[in-house]
Amino acid sequence: MLRILLHGASGRMGNTVAELVRREDDMEIVAGVDRYAPTHDMGFEVFDALDKCAVEADVMIDFSQPGALSGVLEYCMKRNLPLVLCTTGFGERDIKHIEQASTRIPVFRSANMSLGINLIARLAGEAAAFFGDSADIEIVETHHRGKADAPSGTAVLLADEINAQLNGAKEYVYGRHGAQARRKPSELGIHAVRGGSVVGDHEVMFLGDEERVTISHSAQSRTVFAYGAIEAARYLNGKPPRLYDMHDLLVEKSTVTNVYVERDVAVLTLRGVDAAGGGAAEFFGRMAALNYNLDMISQAAPVAGKVDVSVSLGEADAYRALNALNHEDHDWNLEICDRQVKVTVEGLGMQRQSGVAARIFALLAQKGVTVTLVTTSETKVSLLVPAADERKAALALREAFELN
């Protein structure tokens, strides 16, 4: 059970987080901190200052004010407590303090905890790279009348994502007024609107001479931010000290997107062929001439000038190939391993996430599954395992990567 300390518990976001956590089976809020007393029983004790809270926790979620940052960082570093920073409006000095703290504890910080807005940021960056200098870029954000900071941290997040794709060429202009407000090509306009009870709207416009492309996001309730904070707390648990953001979380969530199985596979292995003698090339040439479609190909490093070469193909084809090659005038040592299934684990996020292979092999070892052959690419790990282990291997992998 993940134990959460909620800082800013009495505020609107604190109440929303508390409500969502009550619905989760793997976490609980063990205490809250807020200088204002809650207006109702929140189901956990709420302290009016951090130094009065000695409750053991696994992670802190902070939805408070920028002025509380110093105390929050000091508290978490003293207790080696991972921190999810959901507060916005930090200055450059604050950012430096956050970065320093992240060398001692894991810190998750995002200008916007919505998964959707972070997807929008990625799309805006791609659009900026596509249009380049051919379009003017303007960002308009709208929030409720009570929001203190302007522009929003999310608007700056979007601008930074865009500017990163343009090698930092854009100069941020916050609103325009006066008689000399003509737009310059180097500008990226950021505009803030305040009024009503708007949770948060963000619009990125790419304005060309002949067309306009708009990318927008509208938060319908604060639940999206609370949900993102909960996901961040779950993600941060057990992580080493570093500064994390929503991009890291999204990469991990999309690391593995599919696990699938191919049956009736066999492995044909050519043992002890000369590493530099062309034997492997001749073997592959004969397989091509016999019109067999090879799938996985694996070769270990040479030992005493010899290598083993293994290939996978359909079981029926493997036996036909073995029979044909054994009747030819070759001094080849061929072996077959039948009754195999190919289990493939794939996902675009694998190319940016370390440790995926370690998780796969540790899990299969735990389940007692023997790996016969393995090949990899940037986005895929393919393994041959005995057909008898198909169900437990595939089921365990799908459960581990939450694909069920």
Binding site per annotation, positions for NADP(+): 35
| Among 6, 15, 18, residue whose Cα is nearest residue 53 | 6
List the end-to-end C-alpha distance of the chain, in Å, as a whole number: 22
| Sequence ranges of the binding site for (S)-2,3,4,5-tetrahydrodipicolinate | 144, 153-154
Other Cβ atoms closer than 10 A to 117: 23
Other Cβ atoms closer than 10 A to 14: 27
SS3 283: helix
Structure tokens, 233: 């707390």
CA gap 140, 146 in Å, rounded: 17
Other Cβ atoms closer than 10 A to 202: 26
Structure tokens, 144: 């409720």
CB 194 within 8 A of CB 139: no
The H or E element spanning position 142 is strand 136-143
Please state whether 175 falls in left (phi above 0), alpha (psi between -120 and 50) or beta.
left
CA gap 33, 39 in Å, rounded: 14
For every residue of 219-266, DSSP letters joined together read E-STHHHHHHHHHHHHHHTTPPSSEE-HHHHHHHHTS--EEEEEEEEE
| Catalytic site residue from 40, 52, 78, 143 | 143
| Among 326, 325, 314, 319, residue whose Cα is nearest residue 287 | 325
Please confirm, yes or no, whether 7 is among the known catalytic residues.
no
| Among 189, 191, 187, 211, residue whose Cα is nearest residue 201 | 191
Structure tokens, 28: 């609980």
Other Cβ atoms closer than 10 A to 215: 17
Handedness of CA 73, 74, 77, 79 (dihedral sign): negative
| Among 173, 210, 208, 207, residue whose Cα is nearest residue 192 | 173
| Sequence ranges of the binding site for NAD(+) | 8-13, 34, 86-88, 110-113
Please confirm, yes or no, whether 147 is among the known catalytic residues.
yes
CA gap 158, 143 in Å, rounded: 16
| Catalytic site residue from 40, 52, 96, 147 | 147
Residue with tokens 């051919």: 134
Residues with a catalytic annotation lie at 143, 147
